[in-house]
Chain A
């Protein structure tokens, strides 16, 4: 069946891409999969067992989900009102607002993490503002902890929520809200009964995307977390670089990958993936 399709010229066009992704993504993952079941030259489930027994691993996965959940919640809290507000803007201002969302989206992840590193320093801008406003006496420890990681990741991942959510909100027929108002519904009632349910698929897709990207994050937690909070990605890196424990790193990678792919599969059922990525 596949051979038959390959015979057609069109399918040949897919071969280079499939070769690159196959050789540099699928093969390495299959290899890691095999490694994760080997311990001291024998087949074993030891590396998977450790994830349930060793408190370091349990804690790391707990922290990962906790941070990902907090970041997802914060992006929804900030992103939903932003999108709702943007809907009312005139096209020109809406274009400006969209550009403001795209600017961080285009900027290097490292540069954004660095920007927060400067802002959140002990004597950084945020602490200066907080003190001059009289909100705090002493400078707060805003980075090298979970707070720094959450602030940085919320900033970096917000566009991933806003773009699909705004696209889905734009598809909601504005006449529905006007009809509700004409029939006597208060704006609040019409929002919760009509607009919010219709925006739910976009919100869920965007929220899942933020969550799924958060649990695999490495750069931002490493720089802003300061080594005290170890997310799953850092656990993988440490196992490889500090302990050369490929089996353990592979097992953590595969569990993480399984969760990520499962969430992408759920998301794809709600909103097709290309819609999510294209925004």
Chain B
């Protein structure tokens, strides 16, 4: 009996050790990039032997990098503005109807999550080549919007599932029309999910690599495209600085989205 208990406590100690080790494996690579980005030398060492903001200055001093960052931010913002209403509208349509059409539509709208991005990239590249939309900012915005729709759909659907639709019917029976009922009664209560889905749309565009690799070029090159090309050729330490800034940005946005989805009743 006693021996059994000893063995089981040993097993649970082992399990804790393993669990913590896996968590470290998950987080460590991300947090090691940040101190390295302050390294003064070209060869990124850890811990850095001398600290310097050199690679950050390099980034802000380079018109190529800053331009790419600016292009990416604009594209992400436009994607967020387009994908959020499209996705929220679709989520509402799917949630309030149980027809076969809306279930089929759900599957179609989820497809961008399933199809490998390399296939999406060459497919759109081919279509854009016919209409001269390659290397245009609008072309990338539309492609990113398509990719972001499922993120918005999932997030706002889960918000709607926690909402009592009877409230909206009550509002309608009191004389407001459907749109007003949605805007005044439903939307304020699923606000958290809508904001979270907008944030996901923004980040999904900001981080997107493969599709931009094919569709953007020259002045329309996005930040991830430039980073990817730079990494393929040589390990440029400026990327450590950019990565650190992206890590901080996605952490902030991710935490904000988590708070948003938690808040819903």
Q: Which residues of A contact B (CB under 8 A)?
A: 2, 5-6, 8-14, 16-18, 20-22, 24-29, 31-32, 35, 78-79, 81-82, 84-86, 88, 97, 100-119, 121, 123, 125, 155, 158-159, 186-187, 212, 215-219, 222-223, 233, 236-237, 240, 246, 249, 253, 256-257, 260-261, 264, 273-274, 277-278
Query: Which residues B93-134 have CB closer than 8 A to chain A?
Result: 93-94, 96-97, 99, 101-102, 105, 108-120, 122-127
Do the beta carbons of B23 and A97 come within 8 Å of each other? yes
CA separation between A35 and B123, bound complex, in Å? 11
Contacts of B124 in A (CB 8 A): 24, 28
Do the beta carbons of B142 and A112 come within 8 Å of each other? no
Known contacts A25-B115, A277-B154: A16-B86 contact under CB 8 Å: yes
The 10 A-B pairs at the shortest CB distance, nearest first, are namely A216-B116, A28-B123, A85-B19, A13-B93, A106-B254, A115-B29, A108-B207, A17-B90, A233-B118, A24-B146
Do the beta carbons of A31 and B18 come within 8 Å of each other? no
Residues of A contacting B: mostly: helix
Q: Judge whether B51 is part of the interface by a CB distance below 8 angstroms.
A: no
Q: Mind listing 21 A-B residue pairs with CB under 8 Å?
A: A11-B99, A16-B86, A21-B146, A21-B149, A25-B111, A31-B127, A79-B22, A101-B23, A101-B26, A102-B254, A103-B251, A104-B26, A107-B247, A108-B206, A109-B207, A111-B30, A111-B33, A158-B22, A216-B115, A257-B119, A260-B114
CA separation between A233 and B145, bound complex, in Å? 22
CA separation between A31 and B125, bound complex, in Å? 11
CA separation between A222 and B94, bound complex, in Å? 38
Do the beta carbons of B30 and A104 come within 8 Å of each other? yes
Name the CB-closest residue of B to A231.
B118
Contacts of B85 in A (CB 8 A): 16
CA separation between A212 and B116, bound complex, in Å? 9
Contacts of A104 in B (CB 8 A): 26-27, 29-30
Segment of B53-61, B168-176, B238-246 in the binding face: B238-246
Do the beta carbons of A16 and B117 come within 8 Å of each other? no
Q: Judge whether B258 is part of the interface by a CB distance below 8 angstroms.
A: yes
Do the beta carbons of B27 and A112 come within 8 Å of each other? no
Contacts of A88 in B (CB 8 A): 12
Contacts of B239 in A (CB 8 A): 114
Distance (whole angstroms) from the CB of B255 to the closest CB of chain A: 8
CA separation between A24 and B44, bound complex, in Å? 41
Q: Which residues of B contact A (CB under 8 A)?
A: 4, 8, 11-12, 15-16, 18-19, 22-23, 25-27, 29-30, 32-33, 36, 43-44, 46, 85-87, 89-90, 92-94, 96-97, 99, 101-102, 105, 108-120, 122-127, 142-143, 145-146, 149-150, 153-154, 157-158, 178, 203, 206-207, 209-210, 224, 227-228, 231-232, 235, 239-240, 243, 246-247, 250-251, 253-254, 258
Do the beta carbons of B15 and A115 come within 8 Å of each other? no
Name the CB-closest residue of A to B179.
A9
Do the beta carbons of B19 and A2 come within 8 Å of each other? no
Contacts of B114 in A (CB 8 A): 212, 260-261, 264
Known contacts A17-B87, A17-B109, A111-B243: A86-B29 contact under CB 8 Å: no
Contacts of A35 in B (CB 8 A): 126
**13 further A-B pairs in the complex, CB-CB below 8 A; given A11-B105, A13-B92, A26-B111:** A10-B97, A12-B93, A18-B90, A20-B149, A35-B126, A97-B19, A114-B243, A117-B235, A118-B235, A217-B116, A219-B228, A274-B110, A277-B113
